[in-house]
Amino acid sequence: MSVWDDLVGQEPAIAVLKKAVAGAEAGMRGETGAAVAGMTHAWLITGPPGSGRSNAGRAFAAALQCANQGCGECNECRTALSGAHPDVSLIRTELLSIRVSEIRELVRRAAMSPTQGRWQVMVVEDADRLTEQAADALLKSIEEPAPRTVWVLCAPTVEDVVPTIRSRCRLLVLRTPPVAAVAEMLTSKLGVDAELAGFAARAAQGHIGRARALARDEQVRERRTKVLEVPFALRDIGACLKSAQQLVDAAKEESKASAEKVDEKERTELEQALGVGTKGARPREAGAAIKELEEQQKARAKRWERDVLDRSLVDLIALYRDVLVVQTHAGAELINAELSRPIEQLAARTTPEQTLHRIDALSGCREAIVTNVAPLMALEAVMIALFEGSASPFVRLASD
Protein backbone atom coordinates (compact mmCIF):
# COMPACT_ATOMS: atom_id res chain seq x y z
CA MET A 1 0.00 0.00 0.00
CA SER A 2 1.19 3.53 -0.80
CA VAL A 3 -0.22 7.01 -1.36
CA TRP A 4 0.07 6.46 -5.12
CA ASP A 5 -2.38 3.54 -5.25
CA ASP A 6 -5.37 5.65 -6.32
CA LEU A 7 -3.57 7.02 -9.40
CA VAL A 8 -4.79 4.59 -12.05
CA GLY A 9 -2.67 4.24 -15.19
CA GLN A 10 -0.40 7.19 -14.32
CA GLU A 11 2.93 5.41 -13.93
CA PRO A 12 5.00 8.07 -15.81
CA ALA A 13 3.58 10.88 -13.62
CA ILE A 14 4.09 8.85 -10.45
CA ALA A 15 7.74 8.36 -11.36
CA VAL A 16 8.19 12.14 -11.73
CA LEU A 17 6.54 12.86 -8.38
CA LYS A 18 8.51 10.14 -6.59
CA LYS A 19 11.74 11.63 -7.93
CA ALA A 20 10.64 15.05 -6.67
CA VAL A 21 9.89 13.65 -3.20
CA ALA A 22 13.32 12.02 -3.13
CA GLY A 23 14.83 15.36 -4.15
CA ALA A 24 12.95 17.14 -1.36
CA GLU A 25 14.25 14.57 1.10
CA ALA A 26 17.81 15.09 -0.15
CA GLY A 27 17.41 18.84 0.20
CA MET A 28 16.34 18.45 3.82
CA ARG A 29 19.56 16.52 4.45
CA GLY A 30 21.53 19.44 3.05
CA GLU A 31 22.47 17.84 -0.26
CA THR A 32 22.65 19.93 -3.44
CA GLY A 33 22.95 19.57 -7.21
CA ALA A 34 21.57 16.51 -8.99
CA ALA A 35 20.21 15.02 -5.76
CA VAL A 36 17.55 17.73 -5.43
CA ALA A 37 17.06 18.56 -9.11
CA GLY A 38 13.65 16.90 -9.37
CA MET A 39 12.01 19.13 -6.76
CA THR A 40 10.57 22.62 -7.17
CA HIS A 41 8.34 24.89 -5.10
CA ALA A 42 5.41 25.21 -7.55
CA TRP A 43 3.66 22.54 -9.63
CA LEU A 44 0.84 22.59 -12.16
CA ILE A 45 -0.83 19.19 -12.60
CA THR A 46 -3.10 18.97 -15.65
CA GLY A 47 -5.11 16.16 -17.18
CA PRO A 48 -8.55 15.35 -18.58
CA PRO A 49 -11.54 15.13 -16.23
CA GLY A 50 -11.39 12.02 -14.07
CA SER A 51 -7.70 11.38 -14.71
CA GLY A 52 -6.84 11.93 -11.05
CA ARG A 53 -5.42 15.46 -10.86
CA SER A 54 -6.67 16.06 -7.32
CA ASN A 55 -5.61 12.59 -6.19
CA ALA A 56 -2.13 13.28 -7.58
CA GLY A 57 -1.93 16.56 -5.67
CA ARG A 58 -3.02 14.95 -2.41
CA ALA A 59 -0.70 11.98 -2.88
CA PHE A 60 2.25 14.30 -3.54
CA ALA A 61 1.41 16.33 -0.42
CA ALA A 62 1.22 13.15 1.67
CA ALA A 63 4.52 11.81 0.32
CA LEU A 64 6.27 15.08 1.12
CA GLN A 65 5.09 14.86 4.74
CA CYS A 66 5.94 11.17 5.11
CA ALA A 67 9.32 10.09 6.51
CA ASN A 68 9.10 7.06 4.20
CA GLN A 69 8.17 9.10 1.11
CA GLY A 70 4.55 7.98 0.83
CA CYS A 71 4.03 4.72 2.70
CA GLY A 72 0.28 5.29 2.86
CA GLU A 73 -0.01 3.85 6.37
CA CYS A 74 1.50 6.41 8.76
CA ASN A 75 -0.44 9.21 10.43
CA GLU A 76 1.11 11.83 8.12
CA CYS A 77 -0.05 10.00 4.99
CA ARG A 78 -3.56 9.33 6.26
CA THR A 79 -4.19 12.87 7.52
CA ALA A 80 -2.70 14.49 4.42
CA LEU A 81 -4.88 12.39 2.10
CA SER A 82 -8.02 13.11 4.13
CA GLY A 83 -7.37 16.85 4.44
CA ALA A 84 -6.83 16.72 8.21
CA HIS A 85 -3.07 17.38 8.25
CA PRO A 86 -2.31 20.81 9.79
CA ASP A 87 0.36 21.57 7.18
CA VAL A 88 -1.59 20.46 4.09
CA SER A 89 -4.18 22.95 2.85
CA LEU A 90 -6.69 21.69 0.29
CA ILE A 91 -8.87 24.19 -1.53
CA ARG A 92 -11.57 23.30 -4.01
CA THR A 93 -14.90 24.79 -4.93
CA GLU A 94 -18.39 23.59 -5.76
CA LEU A 95 -19.11 27.08 -7.13
CA LEU A 96 -18.27 28.62 -10.49
CA SER A 97 -15.10 30.31 -9.23
CA ILE A 98 -12.62 30.56 -6.37
CA ARG A 99 -12.88 33.97 -4.73
CA VAL A 100 -9.99 36.26 -3.88
CA SER A 101 -10.80 36.09 -0.15
CA GLU A 102 -10.18 32.33 -0.15
CA ILE A 103 -6.82 32.72 -1.89
CA ARG A 104 -5.71 35.52 0.43
CA GLU A 105 -6.32 33.23 3.40
CA LEU A 106 -4.35 30.48 1.67
CA VAL A 107 -1.47 32.88 0.93
CA ARG A 108 -1.44 33.92 4.59
CA ARG A 109 -1.08 30.29 5.68
CA ALA A 110 1.55 29.62 3.02
CA ALA A 111 3.82 32.24 4.59
CA MET A 112 3.94 30.32 7.87
CA SER A 113 6.46 27.66 8.81
CA PRO A 114 5.18 24.09 9.09
CA THR A 115 3.72 23.42 12.54
CA GLN A 116 4.14 19.64 12.61
CA GLY A 117 5.05 18.43 9.16
CA ARG A 118 8.13 18.73 7.03
CA TRP A 119 6.55 21.07 4.45
CA GLN A 120 3.70 23.55 4.15
CA VAL A 121 1.81 22.17 1.11
CA MET A 122 -0.95 24.17 -0.57
CA VAL A 123 -3.11 22.14 -3.00
CA VAL A 124 -5.51 24.16 -5.18
CA GLU A 125 -7.70 21.54 -6.82
CA ASP A 126 -9.60 23.91 -9.14
CA ALA A 127 -6.94 26.35 -10.28
CA ASP A 128 -8.87 26.84 -13.53
CA ARG A 129 -11.64 28.51 -11.48
CA LEU A 130 -9.49 31.28 -10.01
CA THR A 131 -10.92 34.73 -10.63
CA GLU A 132 -8.56 37.34 -12.07
CA GLN A 133 -8.22 38.97 -8.65
CA ALA A 134 -7.59 35.59 -6.99
CA ALA A 135 -4.86 34.79 -9.51
CA ASP A 136 -3.21 38.15 -8.83
CA ALA A 137 -3.28 37.46 -5.09
CA LEU A 138 -1.68 34.05 -5.63
CA LEU A 139 1.08 35.23 -7.98
CA LYS A 140 3.38 36.91 -5.46
CA SER A 141 3.33 33.90 -3.14
CA ILE A 142 4.36 31.62 -6.01
CA GLU A 143 7.04 34.05 -7.15
CA GLU A 144 8.53 34.40 -3.67
CA PRO A 145 7.56 31.30 -1.68
CA ALA A 146 8.47 30.67 1.92
CA PRO A 147 11.41 28.25 2.32
CA ARG A 148 9.29 25.22 3.30
CA THR A 149 6.22 25.93 1.15
CA VAL A 150 5.14 23.93 -1.92
CA TRP A 151 2.26 24.97 -4.18
CA VAL A 152 0.37 22.31 -6.16
CA LEU A 153 -2.19 23.65 -8.65
CA CYS A 154 -4.57 21.36 -10.56
CA ALA A 155 -6.42 22.21 -13.79
CA PRO A 156 -7.78 20.41 -16.90
CA THR A 157 -5.24 22.01 -19.28
CA VAL A 158 -2.32 24.41 -19.02
CA GLU A 159 -4.35 26.98 -21.01
CA ASP A 160 -6.93 27.07 -18.20
CA VAL A 161 -4.40 28.80 -15.91
CA VAL A 162 -3.33 32.41 -16.41
CA PRO A 163 0.08 32.71 -18.14
CA THR A 164 1.76 34.58 -15.28
CA ILE A 165 1.10 31.69 -12.90
CA ARG A 166 1.64 28.71 -15.22
CA SER A 167 4.99 30.09 -16.35
CA ARG A 168 6.24 29.88 -12.77
CA CYS A 169 5.17 26.26 -12.22
CA ARG A 170 6.61 22.93 -13.25
CA LEU A 171 4.08 21.24 -15.52
CA LEU A 172 3.04 17.63 -14.99
CA VAL A 173 0.52 16.23 -17.49
CA LEU A 174 -1.61 13.22 -16.60
CA ARG A 175 -2.87 10.97 -19.36
CA THR A 176 -6.29 9.44 -19.89
CA PRO A 177 -6.12 6.17 -17.93
CA PRO A 178 -6.19 3.08 -20.20
CA VAL A 179 -9.46 1.14 -20.23
CA ALA A 180 -7.71 -2.04 -19.06
CA ALA A 181 -6.20 -0.25 -16.06
CA VAL A 182 -9.57 1.22 -15.04
CA ALA A 183 -11.31 -2.15 -15.39
CA GLU A 184 -8.62 -3.85 -13.32
CA MET A 185 -9.04 -1.22 -10.60
CA LEU A 186 -12.79 -1.82 -10.48
CA THR A 187 -12.40 -5.57 -10.11
CA SER A 188 -9.47 -5.59 -7.68
CA LYS A 189 -10.51 -2.71 -5.39
CA LEU A 190 -14.29 -2.71 -5.61
CA GLY A 191 -14.95 -6.37 -6.40
CA VAL A 192 -16.94 -5.52 -9.53
CA ASP A 193 -17.76 -8.34 -11.94
CA ALA A 194 -15.27 -8.43 -14.82
CA GLU A 195 -17.91 -7.92 -17.54
CA LEU A 196 -19.51 -4.96 -15.74
CA ALA A 197 -16.06 -3.52 -15.00
CA GLY A 198 -15.16 -3.69 -18.69
CA PHE A 199 -18.38 -1.92 -19.66
CA ALA A 200 -17.94 0.79 -17.02
CA ALA A 201 -14.31 1.41 -17.99
CA ARG A 202 -15.19 1.76 -21.69
CA ALA A 203 -18.24 3.92 -21.08
CA ALA A 204 -16.40 6.24 -18.67
CA GLN A 205 -13.70 6.96 -21.27
CA GLY A 206 -10.96 7.16 -18.67
CA HIS A 207 -12.93 9.11 -16.03
CA ILE A 208 -12.23 7.21 -12.80
CA GLY A 209 -15.09 8.68 -10.80
CA ARG A 210 -17.55 8.09 -13.63
CA ALA A 211 -16.35 4.49 -13.97
CA ARG A 212 -16.95 3.86 -10.26
CA ALA A 213 -20.45 5.34 -10.49
CA LEU A 214 -21.36 3.28 -13.56
CA ALA A 215 -20.07 0.11 -11.95
CA ARG A 216 -21.84 0.58 -8.62
CA ASP A 217 -25.10 2.40 -9.37
CA GLU A 218 -27.78 0.97 -11.66
CA GLN A 219 -29.57 4.34 -11.79
CA VAL A 220 -26.45 5.96 -13.25
CA ARG A 221 -26.37 3.28 -15.95
CA GLU A 222 -30.09 3.81 -16.67
CA ARG A 223 -29.66 7.59 -17.03
CA ARG A 224 -26.81 7.04 -19.47
CA THR A 225 -28.92 4.61 -21.50
CA LYS A 226 -31.68 7.23 -21.84
CA VAL A 227 -29.17 9.80 -23.09
CA LEU A 228 -27.86 7.41 -25.74
CA GLU A 229 -31.42 6.79 -26.98
CA VAL A 230 -31.71 10.44 -28.02
CA PRO A 231 -30.10 10.26 -31.51
CA PHE A 232 -32.41 7.43 -32.52
CA ALA A 233 -35.52 9.44 -31.51
CA LEU A 234 -34.81 12.59 -33.57
CA ARG A 235 -37.37 12.06 -36.34
CA ASP A 236 -38.61 15.66 -36.71
CA ILE A 237 -38.16 19.14 -35.24
CA GLY A 238 -40.78 18.48 -32.57
CA ALA A 239 -38.83 15.45 -31.37
CA CYS A 240 -35.66 17.58 -31.27
CA LEU A 241 -37.27 20.17 -29.01
CA LYS A 242 -38.77 17.46 -26.81
CA SER A 243 -35.42 15.69 -26.41
CA ALA A 244 -33.71 18.96 -25.51
CA GLN A 245 -36.31 19.65 -22.81
CA GLN A 246 -35.98 16.12 -21.44
CA LEU A 247 -32.18 16.43 -21.13
CA VAL A 248 -32.47 19.77 -19.33
CA ASP A 249 -35.19 18.47 -17.01
CA ALA A 250 -33.16 15.35 -16.20
CA ALA A 251 -30.10 17.47 -15.42
CA LYS A 252 -32.13 19.74 -13.11
CA GLU A 253 -33.65 16.75 -11.34
CA GLU A 254 -30.29 15.05 -10.81
CA SER A 255 -28.55 18.21 -9.61
CA LYS A 256 -31.49 19.05 -7.32
CA ALA A 257 -31.32 15.59 -5.75
CA SER A 258 -27.60 16.01 -5.12
CA ALA A 259 -28.03 19.53 -3.74
CA GLU A 260 -30.78 18.59 -1.31
CA LYS A 261 -28.42 16.14 0.38
CA VAL A 262 -26.01 18.91 1.38
CA ASP A 263 -28.02 22.15 1.39
CA GLU A 264 -30.10 21.41 4.48
CA LYS A 265 -27.07 20.15 6.41
CA GLU A 266 -25.09 23.31 5.56
CA ARG A 267 -27.95 25.60 6.60
CA THR A 268 -28.48 23.73 9.88
CA GLU A 269 -24.76 23.91 10.71
CA LEU A 270 -24.64 27.64 9.89
CA GLU A 271 -27.71 28.42 12.00
CA GLN A 272 -26.26 26.50 14.94
CA ALA A 273 -22.97 28.37 14.59
CA LEU A 274 -24.85 31.69 14.55
CA GLY A 275 -27.07 30.74 17.47
CA VAL A 276 -30.28 30.94 15.44
CA GLY A 277 -33.16 29.29 17.30
CA THR A 278 -31.59 29.65 20.74
CA LYS A 279 -32.91 31.93 23.45
CA GLY A 280 -32.11 35.60 23.14
CA ALA A 281 -31.96 38.08 20.28
CA ARG A 282 -31.30 36.91 16.74
CA PRO A 283 -27.67 37.68 15.81
CA ARG A 284 -27.40 40.80 13.68
CA GLU A 285 -25.26 39.10 11.04
CA ALA A 286 -27.44 35.97 10.76
CA GLY A 287 -29.64 37.19 7.93
CA ALA A 288 -26.72 38.26 5.75
CA ALA A 289 -24.83 35.02 6.40
CA ILE A 290 -27.83 32.85 5.55
CA LYS A 291 -28.50 34.88 2.39
CA GLU A 292 -24.87 34.45 1.29
CA LEU A 293 -25.12 30.69 1.89
CA GLU A 294 -28.30 30.48 -0.19
CA GLU A 295 -26.60 32.34 -3.05
CA GLN A 296 -23.64 29.98 -2.91
CA GLN A 297 -25.96 26.98 -2.93
CA LYS A 298 -27.79 28.31 -5.99
CA ALA A 299 -24.47 28.80 -7.78
CA ARG A 300 -23.39 25.28 -6.86
CA ALA A 301 -26.67 23.80 -8.13
CA LYS A 302 -26.15 25.67 -11.41
CA ARG A 303 -22.67 24.22 -11.74
CA TRP A 304 -23.90 20.72 -10.98
CA GLU A 305 -26.63 21.08 -13.60
CA ARG A 306 -24.01 22.14 -16.15
CA ASP A 307 -21.83 19.20 -15.18
CA VAL A 308 -24.69 16.74 -15.76
CA LEU A 309 -25.45 18.26 -19.16
CA ASP A 310 -21.78 18.19 -20.11
CA ARG A 311 -21.56 14.52 -19.18
CA SER A 312 -24.57 13.79 -21.41
CA LEU A 313 -22.96 15.65 -24.31
CA VAL A 314 -19.72 13.71 -23.83
CA ASP A 315 -21.68 10.44 -23.97
CA LEU A 316 -23.35 11.56 -27.21
CA ILE A 317 -19.99 12.52 -28.72
CA ALA A 318 -18.75 9.01 -27.88
CA LEU A 319 -21.76 7.52 -29.66
CA TYR A 320 -21.10 9.48 -32.85
CA ARG A 321 -17.42 8.64 -32.56
CA ASP A 322 -18.47 4.98 -32.74
CA VAL A 323 -20.63 5.75 -35.79
CA LEU A 324 -17.60 7.32 -37.47
CA VAL A 325 -15.45 4.29 -36.60
CA VAL A 326 -17.96 2.05 -38.41
CA GLN A 327 -18.31 4.40 -41.38
CA THR A 328 -14.56 4.71 -41.94
CA HIS A 329 -13.74 1.06 -41.12
CA ALA A 330 -11.14 2.35 -38.66
CA GLY A 331 -11.04 -0.94 -36.76
CA ALA A 332 -10.94 0.74 -33.34
CA GLU A 333 -12.88 -0.71 -30.41
CA LEU A 334 -16.35 0.75 -29.95
CA ILE A 335 -16.93 2.65 -26.73
CA ASN A 336 -20.58 1.60 -26.84
CA ALA A 337 -20.07 -1.97 -27.99
CA GLU A 338 -23.40 -3.01 -26.47
CA LEU A 339 -25.12 -0.74 -29.06
CA SER A 340 -23.18 -2.07 -32.04
CA ARG A 341 -26.25 -2.97 -34.12
CA PRO A 342 -28.10 0.39 -33.90
CA ILE A 343 -24.77 2.15 -34.38
CA GLU A 344 -24.19 0.20 -37.60
CA GLN A 345 -27.72 1.07 -38.76
CA LEU A 346 -27.16 4.77 -38.06
CA ALA A 347 -23.80 4.62 -39.84
CA ALA A 348 -25.46 3.13 -42.92
CA ARG A 349 -28.06 5.92 -43.11
CA THR A 350 -25.62 8.83 -42.86
CA THR A 351 -22.24 9.92 -44.23
CA PRO A 352 -18.93 10.45 -42.42
CA GLU A 353 -19.20 14.16 -43.21
CA GLN A 354 -22.56 14.37 -41.46
CA THR A 355 -21.17 12.49 -38.47
CA LEU A 356 -18.27 14.94 -38.19
CA HIS A 357 -20.75 17.84 -38.33
CA ARG A 358 -22.70 16.24 -35.48
CA ILE A 359 -19.59 15.75 -33.35
CA ASP A 360 -18.60 19.36 -34.02
CA ALA A 361 -22.08 20.57 -33.03
CA LEU A 362 -21.97 18.64 -29.75
CA SER A 363 -18.52 20.05 -28.94
CA GLY A 364 -19.79 23.54 -29.73
CA CYS A 365 -22.75 23.00 -27.43
CA ARG A 366 -20.41 22.12 -24.56
CA GLU A 367 -18.50 25.36 -25.09
CA ALA A 368 -21.69 27.40 -25.43
CA ILE A 369 -23.03 26.20 -22.07
CA VAL A 370 -19.71 27.03 -20.40
CA THR A 371 -19.97 30.58 -21.79
CA ASN A 372 -23.45 30.98 -20.23
CA VAL A 373 -25.67 30.32 -23.24
CA ALA A 374 -29.03 29.23 -21.80
CA PRO A 375 -28.89 25.41 -21.54
CA LEU A 376 -32.29 24.82 -23.16
CA MET A 377 -31.46 27.10 -26.10
CA ALA A 378 -28.11 25.34 -26.57
CA LEU A 379 -29.68 21.88 -26.36
CA GLU A 380 -32.45 22.75 -28.82
CA ALA A 381 -29.90 24.05 -31.32
CA VAL A 382 -27.72 20.95 -31.03
CA MET A 383 -30.65 18.53 -31.30
CA ILE A 384 -31.73 20.19 -34.56
CA ALA A 385 -28.13 20.01 -35.80
CA LEU A 386 -28.03 16.28 -34.97
CA PHE A 387 -31.31 15.72 -36.81
CA GLU A 388 -30.17 17.60 -39.90
CA GLY A 389 -26.53 16.54 -39.86
CA SER A 390 -25.66 20.19 -40.44
CA ALA A 391 -22.66 22.27 -39.44
CA SER A 392 -22.37 23.53 -35.87
CA PRO A 393 -24.80 26.38 -35.07
CA PHE A 394 -22.74 27.62 -32.12
CA VAL A 395 -20.42 30.10 -33.82
CA ARG A 396 -23.39 32.43 -34.15
CA LEU A 397 -25.27 31.33 -31.02
CA ALA A 398 -22.38 31.96 -28.60
CA SER A 399 -22.10 35.56 -29.79
CA ASP A 400 -25.79 36.42 -29.63
37-47: pLDDT as tens digits: 789 999 999 99
- Confidence grade of residue 35 (pLDDT, cut at 50, 70, 90): low
- Looking at every residue in the chain, the average pLDDT score rounds to 90
Domain segments of the chain as ranges = 10-30+38-173, 179-216, 237-273+299-388
Average pLDDT over residues 246-259: 90
- The reported pLDDT for the residue numbered 384 is 96
- Confidence grade of residue 370 (pLDDT, cut at 50, 70, 90): confident
Q: Which of the pair, 158 or 26, is modelled with greater confidence?
A: 158
How distant, in Å, are the alpha carbons of 185, 231, 380 from that of 242? 39, 12, 8
Residues 6+ apart with CB under 8 A from 33: none
HSE-up of 300 (CA within 13 Å, CB side)?
A: 18
- The reported pLDDT for the residue numbered 284 is 65
Fold of 10-30+38-173: Rossmann fold (3.40.50)
Give the other-Cβ count within 10 Å of 367's Cβ.
13
pLDDT at 308 over 70: yes
132-141, 226-235, 257-266 — which one is most confidently predicted on average? Answer: 226-235
Q: How far apart are CA 46 and CA 276, in angstroms?
A: 43
122-132: pLDDT as tens digits: 999 999 989 88
Strands laid side by side in the 170-173 sheet: 88-91, 120-124, 149-155, 42-46, 170-173
> Which uninterrupted H or E stretch holds 210?
helix 208-216
Full DSSP string of 255-305:
HHHHHHHHHHHHHHHHHHHHTTTSSSPPPTTHHHHHHHHHHHHHHHHHHHH
Fold of 237-273+299-388: Zinc Finger, Delta Prime; domain 3 (1.20.272)
319-333: pLDDT as tens digits: 999 999 999 999 899
Give bridge partners of residue 44 from the DSSP assignment: 153, 171
- The reported pLDDT for the residue numbered 399 is 43
- Confidence grade of residue 286 (pLDDT, cut at 50, 70, 90): confident
User: What distance lies between CA 169 and its chain's CA centroid?
Assistant: 20
- The reported pLDDT for the residue numbered 279 is 58
